[in-house]
A and B are shown apart, each in its own frame.
Chain A
């Protein structure tokens, strides 16, 4: 156990738990302010894509990362079958499995 990791877990606990607990415990019959609800509604897609592009569209060491688009980018290629699976099956498990399998397969073929 390192101090940094325990501190990290404690901090994560707070920022994960508070947004889950507050509305439940505070909202009796009132609902969120419409503008806040409107803003929050757009957070999940925005944050997910912001995360996804940092995984599949860029390369290089931290601080000097650059755009990486092309057929050598396995992560970007694997996103295609993963997205298709997601749209066709709407399932979580299948999408993740296809994405991971596509990466494994691409590495096998490129060796």
Chain B
């Protein structure tokens, strides 16, 4: 079954709604086709008794159609493309049988009900098959069936048959365009809804974080800073420790109160400051980024958060495992892609043998992949560790908080 012919089980409400609308269209056209058969059979029956063959053909086609309608109603979507294909085959067979029967009874003008039926039933091809080869084949087979039956069995002239057959193309093409547009709009609606939900969730988290930061600031940070200023009360080692912890808490509180940031260089600078305060000297090289980004729209908040979050993990890994006190972070914008690298010349790790290395590798990869980018971690014993984060400036994001230029750190 093609992706386009039915909604995915995990589709959102927009896609589901589109499928329901298309299902109703399928059902109505199919019932319209059956009405054509009913009218033809009843009208012809008033002139002369039907042969068993005519009644049988009408019954088979009606039963098959009602089966498809029941399936569509039950699934809330157009039947799968494979059933539509079988339906086309049955329709073609019906066109030939109907033509033979109409010729025998000399009932061409009123008894050949398969033609008007197939015109309406053919709409199902446009609704149920994905635009492309399968759709073209379905249309071609149905057209071919009509042309073949009309020319060979009914003996209709070519100048009449060809224009008639073009009606199939028009019906199916219109149905396919409408179905494609509806499904696309449904998916877009779902994407927007999901983005909105992400955004609301992110805002809620930020509000909670800001509340906690305010509490920490009012209850603890101010006391700690008072202690640090009055150094007569503390010995050297304890005071140094307190200064470091106060600095960390100050940075944490500042992050919690900050607005979402779309300035990648500024967010990386704050990250470098934070890590330097924690004892890792971080060299940040971002001149190329600043120059290349001049005059361009700022990246999305989600882009900045993904890159800075992954860079933070890489630097934390350096702090914990590399046994060095220095790392280089380089940020650049090349060919529309943000590239941020984190390099240390520490002891590195063996990729498959180190749980810590594997953990950070997977975590960085997952974070970047979620934002539509990529993250790679290269390391070897004694070779240091090199992390490369790439994200296209136009990558779709799921948690974009807007594009206004605001300054503040990323997330912790």
A binds B: no
Q: A residues touching B (Cβ–Cβ < 8 Å)? A: none
Q: B residues touching A (Cβ–Cβ < 8 Å)? A: none
